[in-house]
Structure 1
Amino acid sequence: MDHNNDENLHRVRITARGGKAAIEIDGQRVDPGALSGHTVTHREGEPPQVVLYPGDYAESTFEGLTRISLADMPAPGPAAAVFLSAIDAEELERSALARPDLGTGPHSLTQAMLTQLVEWASGL
């Protein structure tokens, strides 16, 4: 099969360094703020496929003809439910009360707990 004549193929250039990537499709730069990630896969005998995730990358470079797909982002609810169900309420309260940024105003404990949950979810 001659993939060079396939009208579904696009010229792609991806230059990634650290947490940033510059992506061009058919010579047009993709707004970096529009994407949260990408994957490049390739099977023998087929052109590479780039999947763009709407919405940060290890250092890499890819340039060539590829099929491009736009991925649907999964709903965050189920993953959040799993994360939150694993939280020990006593440990959350203890950690929030021990935070140096715990305020004294209304809702300050709730804010400290939410900040703590964000840090735990981020691996901090």
Structure 2
Amino acid sequence: MTEQPIPPRAYGVHIEATPGDAVIRLDGEPLPPGQVTGYVLQHDVHGALPSLILHTRQPHGVLFEGLATVAVAVQQDHGDVIEEFLSGIDPAGLSRAALDRDDLDPGKHGVAEAMLKQLADWAKGRS
């Protein structure tokens, strides 16, 4: 059975950081020293709460205090994701889509280039 992810919840976040050191508090409790090697704080001002991702060292001093959605980063093997994506591609559909592209180059590698562009478009969710 696959473990179900825990839905995100908002934490009170306070970050005091200088080069080489950061003290991060979640709901007022400091994370143990050395447990987090770094973090990324991201916020779309038109979105809801900021997101705090704990994983990599931050080289510059930062001060943040407020609510944020917190996620712990998990290293992914991109090969598995790519393999899953490519295994779902219909070869005939890819050929048709590549040959129908407006930017199809008639040169020696034009069809291969069009197929790669089409795969990239599909990976980004574009038709």
Structure 2 residue aligned with 1:47: 29
Note the C-alpha offset of 1:76: 0.6
Q: 1:106 to 1:46 in 2, by over 3 A?
A: same
| Structure 1: unaligned runs, 5 residues or longer | 1-9, 13-24, 29-41
Give the secondary-structure state (helix, strand or coil) at the position aligned to 1:26: strand
1:97 aligns with 2:89: no
Count of residue pairs brought into register by the alignment:
85
Measured at CA, do residues 78 and 102 of structure 1 come closer, stay the same or move farther in structure 2, by a change above 3 Å?
same
Query: What letter matches 2:77 in structure 1?
Result: A
Gaps of 5+ in 2: 1-12, 20-25, 51-64
Q: CA deviation at 1:106?
A: 1.6
> 1:57 Cα shift?
5.3
Partners of 1:76 and 1:84 in 2: how far apart?
12
| SS in structure 1 of the partner of residue 75 of structure 2 | coil
Q: Provide the rounded CA distance (Å) in 2 between the counterparts of 1:71 and 1:121.
A: 22
Q: Give the whole-Å Cα distance in 2 for the aligned partners of 1:96 and 1:77.
A: 23
Relative to its length, the structure with more helix (as a share) is: 1
Residue 86 (str. 1) matches residue 82 (str. 2):
no
Spell out the pairing of 1:7-26 with structure 2 (5 A cutoff).
12=15, 26=17
Matched with 1:115 is: 117
Aligned partner of 1:5 in structure 2 is none
Superposed displacement of residue 46, structure 1 = 6.3
Runs of 4+ in 1 over 6 A off after TM superposition: 48-51
